[in-house]
Chain A
Amino acid sequence: MKKAVVLALAAMMLLGVAGAAFADSVTHFGAPVAGKQVASGPVDVKAQVNPKISLTITTPDDPQTVDFGLVDPATTYTKSVTLAVKSNKAWTMQAVESGDAAITDNLTLTAPATVFGANYGLKGEWSGTDTYTLNMPWTVEAGVPYTASVLYTVTQ
């Protein structure tokens, strides 16, 4: 145990010394330019950006819920979900419904391409509105709480 601790400390000290040695200094001396002493020097800034995509879903109800509450048959109800995509590469979106057929059979979503219009699939930051339209037919049993899910997937 003691030996392992000593080795670990030595490794930490070595890394500390190596880190301190990386700083770089260059001196530029003035030269006359149009009667004035001028000195100039460049600094390079380097980086590489990682591929990244993110999707932010904003629902009208908590948590991440669209709650139509009590609905009448053969009546159209709409609610909106805001979708925001950030991507530094081209992307696509899928929306897959699952759950109670009473909802999935009678719920209409806006196509992703329509949600984002001309910006669909372009790298950058975009947002749009997915309109949920629900119309329960007379054949749906009344007095039953129904639940369904919409899974959004964005892919570069």
Chain B
Amino acid sequence: MQERRTGQRDRARQAVFAAVLALALALSAPILDPPSAEAVTVRGNFEVTVIPNTAYSAASYTLGGFRTGNGETVTGYTLMFPGDTDASGVTSPGAGDVVTVAADNRTVTVVLGTPVAPRTTFSIQLDNVRNPSTAGTYAIASVTFARQGTTDQTIDISTDTYTIVAAPYLSMTITTPDPGQTVDFGSIDPGVPTAAKQVTVAVTSSAGYTITRALGGSATALGLNVTGTATGTKPAGTRTWTDDYVLTPPWTTDPEVALTATVVYTVTQ
């Protein structure tokens, strides 16, 4: 009888000990199994999307998806676009995002207005990036994430390529000295040439092109004379041309009348 009671007590002690051991193991699990050293991981369906993906185009680049780890917060990132990509005018759509571009016009750093919380799937989007001028296969080598309270982390994405295709591209940016695409000379005297004002015409073209100017409106009454380099046959690529505008109104022009002349620039591939 006494041996049975002893055995029962032993089994009870063993059960209590096992329960205590299990509880201890549960409490120590976070110690025995610490969180991963990498805050950010690349999801299985990760890809780089470029829209539009035509040469020369100003495009939106989306890199997704990434995922933050346990207890880690991503506050920003840095990446470098491949050669012949112009990110000088890059923007980030997130509210409060601060974007800086290095002197190479390819390395972009973004400080996120809203950091990425732990255990969150997210994508990177950068807009107004000018695609390479040559069709082909390209890749962003890596992305370095800035993490709150710990070191930066660099992820290699060099094998996630994207394609740029050839397509006719043409854009012309006109910059005037006054608002509203205007050259405003104010009040001027007849018979006296004004000081010149400059208008620049920046053209990006995938092929050779021709620039022409057409004067209209009150160009004759104002004695408008336009000279400079924004005219004639030009080669493919990105270049800026400058024109000088001078007014010498004749004595036959009615005074005290607001006059407007027009100059229409046309670029044709």
Which A residues contact B (CB, under 8 angstroms)?
22-30, 32-33, 36-52, 86-89, 123-125
Contact = CB atoms under 8 A, between A and B. Distances in A.
- Most B CB within 10 A of own CB, among A32, A33, A50, A88: A88
B158 interface: no
Given A26-B181, A30-B205, A49-B187, 20 more contacts: A22-B177, A22-B179, A25-B173, A25-B174, A30-B171, A37-B168, A43-B181, A43-B262, A45-B183, A45-B224, A45-B263, A50-B190, A52-B251, A86-B191, A86-B251, A88-B251, A88-B252, A123-B254, A124-B251, A124-B252
Contacts of B171: 27-30, 39
B169 interface: yes
Contact of B169 (A23, A26, A37, A44): A37
B182 A44 contact: yes
Nearest to A126: B251
Q: Which 6 A-B pairs have the closest CB atoms?
A: A30-B170, A47-B185, A37-B170, A37-B269, A45-B261, A51-B255
B255 A50 contact: yes
A89 to B, nearest CB: 6
A42 B263 contact: yes
Contacts, number: 175
Interface of B: 168-191, 194, 199, 205, 207, 217, 219, 222, 224, 245, 247, 249-269
A44 B179 CA distance: 10
A45 B172 contact: no
Contact of B185 (A24, A36, A46): A46
Contacts of A42: 181, 262-265
A124 B255 CA distance: 12
